[in-house]
Amino acid sequence: MGKIIYLDHNATTPTAQKVLEEMLPYFNTHYHNPSSLYKPSRDCRKAIEESRTIVASLIGAEPREIIFTAGGTEADNFAIKGIAFANKSRKNHIITSKIEHHAVLITCMWLESQGFEVTYLGVDKYGVVDLNELKDSITDQTVLITIMHANNELGTIQPIKEIAEIAHSHNIYFHTDAVQTVGKISTKVNELDVDLLSLSGHKFYGPKGVGALYIRKGTLLDPLIHGGHHERDRRAGTENVPGIVGLGKACEIAKQEIGTNNKVKNLRDRLWNGIKNKIPEVVLNGHPEKKLDGTLSICVKCVEGESMLMDLDAHGICASSGSACAAGTAEPSHVLTATGMPADLSHSSLRISLGKHNTKEEIDYVIQVFPQIVERLRTLSPFWKK
Ligand SMILES: *Cc1c(COP(=O)(O)O)cnc(C)c1O
């Protein structure tokens, strides 16, 4: 099999052909600076504003509540630092969780070095945030709660509405990193009741390096990037017109397709059933129901995650152990550790994340070769009892 089987969609997705086609004219024909006053520039400005309307519509927001960024990481940084610094003289405490993406976690750690206080909430064995611990952590200094919508490693979906209710009953801002859910499940900002929401194009068939932060109207935050008057003075820099146009197209496609079929979920369940029936001593991670359709996180006892990845790669299968950002490090995943998993087990973790182009044939091929890979690696393991 010379073909590549791509099963790492939580790391990134292929840019849709329609998205690419929509973007291309904005690299050459419509290269003009959207801030200039002549007609070609006004056309670029118009394209940006149309895209803003489409992005807003996917999440049930108003166009003026959308600020374009250079991806999910920037949106997270902007939300958290923006709220923290805008309210610095008033309040200095932030609450987040131990299983956030590094874009949130490392940002919060940096804020600690700048004099802010941060509480990192624990999670249960499924990766769900403890709401009682959340309530107990709130002080009169708490200005922001930031909890991700779905976790990129486990796929576990958090009780966002409940968290929002707790936050708002204490007059605390609530931000959610929805990078793994926008385009996959409903992320209407009024239903979730969030004040700030991060999204990223490349996680749902849009281009890399472009995303957006939803900022509920009336919410004050300090800018992250200073300079010109772009994005209503909230994010300086000449707009990434092709990227923004591509993000809009990806949102348009997602809006049409969301909830229309169970293909990804069925393939994921087929894969899990195949693995579970053929391989002994495999553990399923994450919440059994409240999780993303395409995510399968497992631990294969007595086999190193990295070894499985290399053998899968040799068969043309792309997967991940832990998060892509943590790959190549010997540290166990901070997410799996937070669920209470012992280090030896989390070293045997594998994350397979499916997308809309995967086929039954691809999944059946994985079900065929993966048990052989595990069997071989286990015969080499001193810990595996034969
Ligand atoms: C991928 C990801 C990010 C980072 O988004 P980029 O656009 O790659 O910067 C942030 N949060 C989560 C949950 C992610 O999966």
For the domain spanning 17-257, the CATH number is 3.40.640.10
Q: How far is the CA of 212 from the centre of ligand 1 (A)?
A: 11
Q: How far is the CA of 140 from the centre of ligand 1 (A)?
A: 31
Widest Cα–Cα separation across the chain: 75
- Is ligand 1 within 6 A of the CB of residue 103? yes
**Sheet of strand 295-300: strand arrangement:** 282-284, 295-300, 349-353
Q: What is the pTM of this model?
A: 0.96
Mutate to test the pocket of ligand 1, among 152, 185, 334 (most ligand atoms within 8 A of CB): 152
Collect all residues with Cβ–Cβ distance below 8 Å to 263 and sequence separation of at least 6. Answer: 356
Q: Report the CATH architecture of 5-13+261-379.
A: Alpha-Beta Complex (3.90)
- H or E segment at 214? strand 211-215
pLDDT in tens, 252-262: 999 999 999 99
Nearest CA to ligand 1 atom 14: 179
- Is ligand 1 within 6 A of the CB of residue 72? yes
Task: Per residue of the chain (386 residues), give pLDDT as tens.
Answer: 579 999 999 999 999 999 999 999 999 999 999 999 999 999 999 999 999 999 999 999 999 999 999 999 999 999 999 999 999 999 999 999 999 999 999 999 999 999 999 999 999 999 999 999 999 999 999 999 999 999 999 999 999 999 999 999 999 999 999 999 999 999 999 999 999 999 999 999 999 999 999 999 999 999 999 999 999 999 999 999 999 999 999 999 999 999 999 999 999 999 999 999 999 999 999 999 999 999 999 999 999 999 999 999 999 999 998 644 445 556 889 999 999 999 999 999 999 999 999 999 999 999 999 999 999 999 998 888 76
Ligand 1 nearest-atom number relative to CA 200:
7
334: tokens are 């901070």
- Is ligand 1 within 6 A of the CB of residue 79? no
Distances (CA, A) of 223 to 59, 84, 215, 226, 301: 22, 11, 12, 7, 47
Collect all residues with Cβ–Cβ distance below 8 Å to 201 and sequence separation of at least 6. Answer: 71, 207, 208, 209, 210, 211, 243, 246, 247, 250
- Give the chain's end-to-end CA distance (angstroms, integer): 31
60: tokens are 């049930």
Collect all residues with Cβ–Cβ distance below 8 Å to 290 and sequence separation of at least 6. Answer: 126, 128, 156, 157
Q: Which pairing describes strands 5-6 and 317-318: parallel, antiparallel, or unpaired?
A: parallel
- Is ligand 1 within 6 A of the CB of residue 353? no
* Active-site amino acid positions: 325
Residues 247 and 210: beta-carbon distance below 8 Å? yes
Closest among 99, 130, 125 to 333, alpha carbons compared: 99
Q: How far is the CA of 324 from the centre of ligand 1 (A)?
A: 10
As a whole number of angstroms, the distance between CA 251 and CA 181 comes to 12
Distances (CA, A) of 320 to 140, 151, 202, 284, 310: 41, 14, 17, 15, 10
Mutate to test the pocket of ligand 1, among 73, 175, 351 (most ligand atoms within 8 A of CB): 73
Mutate to test the pocket of ligand 1, among 12, 148, 177, 247 (most ligand atoms within 8 A of CB): 177
As a whole number of angstroms, the distance between CA 125 and CA 338 comes to 8
Ligand 1 nearest-atom number relative to CA 203:
1
What is the residue type of 205?
A: Y
| Domain 17-257 in the same topology as domain 5-13+261-379 | no
DSSP-derived secondary structure for 10-65: TT--PPPHHHHHHHGGGTTTT---TTS-SHHHHHHHHHHHHHHHHHHHHTT--GGG
- Is ligand 1 within 6 A of the CB of residue 71? yes
Give the residue extent of every domain in the chain: 5-13+261-379, 17-257
pLDDT in tens, 198-230: 999 999 999 999 999 999 999 999 999 999 999
Q: How far is the CA of 372 from the centre of ligand 1 (A)?
A: 33
Ligand 1 nearest-atom number relative to CA 208:
7
Would you tell me the crossing angle of helices 39-58 and 241-257 to the nearest 10 degrees?
A: 30
Per-chain mean pLDDT for the chain: 96
Collect all residues with Cβ–Cβ distance below 8 Å to 39 and sequence separation of at least 6. Answer: none
